[in-house]
Chain A
Amino acid sequence: MIHFVLLISRQGKVRLTKWYSPYSQKERTKVIRELGGEILSRGPKLCNFVDWRGLKVVYKRYASLYFCMCIDQDDNELEVLEIIHHFVEILDRYFGSVCELDLIFNFHKAYYILDELLLAGELQESSKKTIARLIAAQDSLVETAKEQASSISNIIAQATK
């Protein structure tokens, strides 16, 4: 299973974390610090896998961002590597050629998308189309609620005039 997902920038800034195994806050900080150091220092053209404390981290760099997923030692590494790419493609489709800034200012969207892709540390949905549809539906739910809210507040405002 995937124990956690980590997005870090080349400067070591955390852009997204998601923990599927219970790590305390202290452990989380430690993991990010250690792993960031290890992965950022790896040169290009090396393999995408790193042994790490009896587990394994599969990572891939996209422009300035490193996407990392930590898995069990006997999990299928390439499968996870393509989950990462799949995630990136979905983000790309949603934001329209995604860049680090999109993820910084819309980190909550990234969380929603990730929650449609992975659950309980396992792949939940492999169809890009389905995920796009579900996210669009969520967005429209939020929009509708907003419109309703504003129309209600209009009504109240009118009534109390």
Chain B
Amino acid sequence: MAMHGMRGLSVFISEIRNCQNKEQERLRVDKELGNVRNRFKNEKVLTPYDKKKYVWKMLYIYMLGYDVDFGHMEAVSLISAPKYPEKQVGYIATSCLLNENHDFLRLAINTVRNDIIGRNETFQCLALTMVGNIGGRDFAESLAPDVQKLLLSSSCRPLVRKKAALCLLRLYRKNPDIVNVDGWADRMSQLLDERDLGVLTSSMSLLVALVSNNHEAYWSCLPKCVKTLERLARNQDIPQEYTYYGIPSPWLQVKTMRALQYFPTIEDPHTRRTLFEVLQRILMGTDVVKNVNKNNASHAVLFEALALVMHLDAEKEMMSQCVALLGKFIAVREPNIRYLGLENMTRMLMVTDVQEIIKRHQAQIITSLKDPDVSIRRRALDLLYGMCDVTNAKDIVEELLQYLSSADFTMREELSLKAAILAEKFAPDLSWYVDVILQLIDKAGDFISDDIWFRVVQFVTNNDDLQPYAAAKVKEYLDKSAVHETMVKVSAYILGEYSHLLARRPGCSPKEIFNLLHEKLPTVSTTTIPILLSAYAKILMHTQPPDQELQSQIWAIFNKYESCIDAEIQQRAVEYLALCQKGAALMDILAEMPKFPERKSSLIKRAEYSEADTAEQSAIKLRAQQQTSNALVVTDQHSANGATSPVPVGQLSLVKVPSMITTENDTSSDHTLSQQNGALSNVDPQPPSADLLSDILGPLAIEGPPDATVQSENNAASGLEGGSDAIDGSAIVPVEEQTNTVQPIGNIAERFHALCLKDSGVLYEDPYIQVGIKAEWRGHHGRLVLFLGNKNTAPLVSVQAIILPPAHLKMELSLVPDTIPPRAQVQCPLEVVNLRPSRDVAVLDFSYKFGTNMVNVKLRLPAVLNKFLQPIQVSAEEFFPQWRSFSGPPLKLQEVIRGIRPMPLPEMANLLNSFRIMICPGLDPNPNNLVASTTFYSDSKPAMLCLVRIETDPADRTQLRMTLASGDPTLTFELKEFIKEQLISIPTAPRAPAPAAAPPAAQPTPQIPPNDPAAILAGLLS
């Protein structure tokens, strides 16, 4: 080993080490800096050795944290030294001392370039290293072509080329235009054939950066990545020196899988299969071993494989395998694995519908919230926050509240903000929300931002039922000895407005409330006093009959503050005093605060903002965007390549359903036939026919007895179908264009039904476009985002989206751009407000032009009745009085329904639950009956409780009696009809591809209109 010591440097380092304290060290450093400065300044000719020595000393001092504001020029000048040892020091010192924005660097560009294009390999390496580590935009502009040349040169050795690859990566980050060279993508693809694994590792990093910005240009690299991964995973032909603890370069494996995550999908079935085999191998074949490093390396690969599987949206089975693995990880002792398990579970939440499986691990995750390690606690908090929904909000928020008292200070603000948001988003009832926020203020007042208490005030103001409750609650808190100032603020506001609602309760007379508040006044700051003064004025106004003593007391306080130095306090005091003397006018001016306009929670906005903020950092943003688009790619399994078997003609005429739907759904005609012939009812309630039709046509024939209804529906449907087709065809699109060119992928009706049950997924897809939807529902508000994704390499033009809202929905679609660029996705938010209960469906009239083809589709939007429901669990004590209070029609309706699709009781219960109508077990003593409850939200009325009772007949599962009760006749009726529709027609679960029984596929596929006829009908009817 060559330890060419530099005595002067070693002596200096020893002396620094021998310093007894910081002061001595500083003196020694200052002395040395003076010395070096002198040498640089005064000695005309420093020997190369001395120059090197001084530069090293400078660097050492700099590393210790001292300012070194001279000598940079000397360091840079060493770069142009002719000999290797000086040059080496010059390069390394420059790249340590300066950052890319330093002016001196520009001076060196020419020298650096000469080294890069020169013949000396060692000089090339030095130059590439420095540029790769600190090169800025200037370097990118002047050096990129030279660096590219080195990377591609066949005469360069690997040691130069791998540096060139990463150097180019750096320059690309500084100026992405440098790879806008003709044929660059092809060369990149060739680079992946590289035999030297060092060069391949570097090239793969470069590729990751390139595809993360523009995957489209690099499609040709995809199969090569898969090949590389396969070669590594199978340990084929990997030199020993590139295995790490027996694992073929884990780093290259990780990088390759990272690159693959930037391609939206893998279309080639062979490549896809190969990749899944490799991934399966990694998922199954990673064992826990004793050696820490081997373990880490294999798990690094495993976690990356998990991420890739999530991204590719693999089959259900593989996904649940992943969740199972993660579930195992979050329970292990080893902290790293547990940390990563939690982190990846959180990521998994964002990508796919696995929430239910993840929920099973809730208890385990909560244990991690109490881990001694703050890093793990943070991940657990993130996960709990992400997995929270209406069903588990109570449990999770309780846990967060409990944890708040013991959490470290660095986490409290985040924790309380998250708890507040969850409480708001998922509150099963508002009194619980108030409880949570008050507890938050009580436990962590210092960490509660104003936003949080403003929000609770808004809620209380807007909900009359909540006001006495909130007033009583805050009073309880004020009774405590130590009260946080934020609590005083919120209490003063609420008691000022609503304490008169409590006046009859013991201890709540105006005087007592006033005293309670006034006790706090000496303890609060000047920002709180104005709120207290307002509260006093309001209490005084509400005191009936007037209380002279209280009045004089309060007036005295106003008097006192009339001369307060704080302008706000002074103004209020003066004004209230003047107003009080006006008598009756006071009543108007101090009347209850009006309701707040409904607005988006500033808390949620803030959370989103801070998320966006961190996302700015790097590729995270991009990946997050990709993740949203992944969520959209969650399609049913049997899409394009599923069974589009031709339709037997006989069946078509028999069932009279639109051809497209039959092609998708019908997998065995005899099954449907037997159902047809069976004596269930005239029309098979099986999907696809009835489920589409009854849904939409229901309102046409509501009153008739069930069988007749269905019958007439069917007739109406077959009658209307032809008509609508004709109308649509002639009015909007030339028939032949439409039928020949664009066929939807997947079944539109099924997609719609799936979306009625979940909040994100694909609404429509054809070879050119994918329309995805993501929805958030809160009370009577909905926020949908339409994702319009152009799947092509050419733009889609004349894009138009018009919403045809039914009368009961207020809908506002933001601007839809006229053109969607190639392979781009645009997002169009859509705001929905529910005004009244109704089963009518909103329709999106959507059209675009691709080439010469005009495509127009009408799509039902899943803004359906059940989206405005919130499940609520009702106890027996609450249920029966309510049930009895709705005494009969029109508030309580009962109907015997026949033609039900036979299903076991638990399945029916699940179905209701999935529509957010919550089964309340144990209320009905008869095990064949179901009792359920829910609340309905609309703009016109406060939340309405709805109660449902279903009595089934174990002897005949095709009929049942349903009773529905609520405080609003329309709601009772609509909800009854809604449930009825769901019971007689269950949306199909995704089916397997056509069984062997299907007719031969040689027959040409019938020409299928691109539009969903059902949707057209919906459009006509709305």
Contact = CB atoms under 8 A, between A and B. Distances in A.
A47 B373 contact: yes
B300 interface: yes
Interface in B1-55: 1-4, 10, 13, 17, 48
B205 A122 contact: yes
A129 B163 CA distance: 17
B617 interface: yes
B900 interface: no
Contacts of A138: 88, 122
A139 interface: yes
Interface string B878-901: 000000000000000000000000
Contact of B201 (A15, A123, A137): A123
Nearest to B202: A124
B121 to A, nearest CB: 10
B133 A142 contact: no
B85 interface: yes
Given A73-B620, A141-B84, A146-B85, A78 B63 contact: no
Contact of A74 (B197, B296, B620): B620
B215 interface: no
B336 A78 contact: yes
A139 B197 contact: no
B67 interface: yes
A81 B296 contact: yes
Contacts of B136: 22
B375 A50 contact: yes
B60 A20 contact: no
B249 interface: yes
B336 A126 contact: no
B241 A22 contact: no
B241 A127 contact: yes
A108 B170 contact: no
Nearest to B169: A120
B198 A78 contact: no
A59 B60 CA distance: 23
B88 A143 contact: no
Nearest to A83: B251
A76 B198 contact: no
Contact of B99 (A23, A128, A139): A23
B953 to A, nearest CB: 55
Contacts of B241: 127-130
Nearest to B66: A29
Interface residues of A, number: 72
Contacts of A1: 618
A130 B198 contact: yes
Contacts of B538: none
Interface in A67-93: 72-74, 76-79, 81-83, 85-86
A142 B297 contact: no
A120 B198 contact: no
Interface in B798-834: none
Contact of B254 (A79, A112, A119): A79
B198 A96 contact: no
Contacts of A157: none
A72 B620 contact: yes
Given A18-B96, A49-B339, A124 B198 contact: yes
A14 to B, nearest CB: 6
Contact of A119 (B63, B85, B132, B239): B132
Contacts of A74: 619-620, 623
Contacts of A140: 2
Interface in B255-271: 255, 258
B300 A82 contact: yes
Contacts of B132: 119-120
A104 interface: yes
A86 B620 CA distance: 26
Contacts of A149: 48
Contacts of B85: 141-142, 145-146
A127 B251 contact: no
Nearest to A78: B300
Nearest to B304: A76
B162 A125 contact: yes
Nearest to B261: A74
B781 interface: no
Contact of B617 (A22, A72, A145, A146): A72
Contacts of B101: 22, 24
B613 A115 contact: no
A124 B249 CA distance: 12
A145 B83 contact: yes
A17 B60 CA distance: 10
A76 B372 CA distance: 23
A55 interface: yes
A119 B250 contact: no
Given A48-B336, A78-B297, A17 B63 contact: yes
Given A79-B300, A119-B133, 19 more contacts: A14-B63, A16-B63, A17-B63, A17-B96, A24-B99, A47-B335, A47-B338, A78-B300, A85-B293, A85-B296, A104-B13, A108-B56, A112-B88, A119-B128, A119-B166, A124-B201, A125-B198, A126-B251, A142-B85
Interface of A: 1, 13-20, 22-25, 29, 32, 42-43, 45-51, 54-55, 72-74, 76-79, 81-83, 85-86, 94-96, 104-108, 111-112, 115, 119-120, 122-130, 134, 136-143, 145-146, 149
Interface of B: 1-4, 10, 13, 17, 48, 56, 59-60, 63-65, 67, 83-85, 88-89, 92, 96, 99-101, 122, 128-129, 132-134, 136, 159, 162-163, 166-167, 169-170, 173, 197-198, 201-202, 205, 239, 241-242, 244, 249-252, 254-255, 258, 293, 296-297, 299-300, 303-304, 335-336, 338-340, 372-373, 375-376, 378, 613-614, 617-620, 623
17 contacts: A14-B63, A17-B63, A46-B376, A47-B338, A48-B335, A76-B254, A76-B304, A79-B250, A79-B304, A112-B88, A119-B163, A119-B166, A123-B251, A126-B197, A127-B241, A139-B4, A143-B2
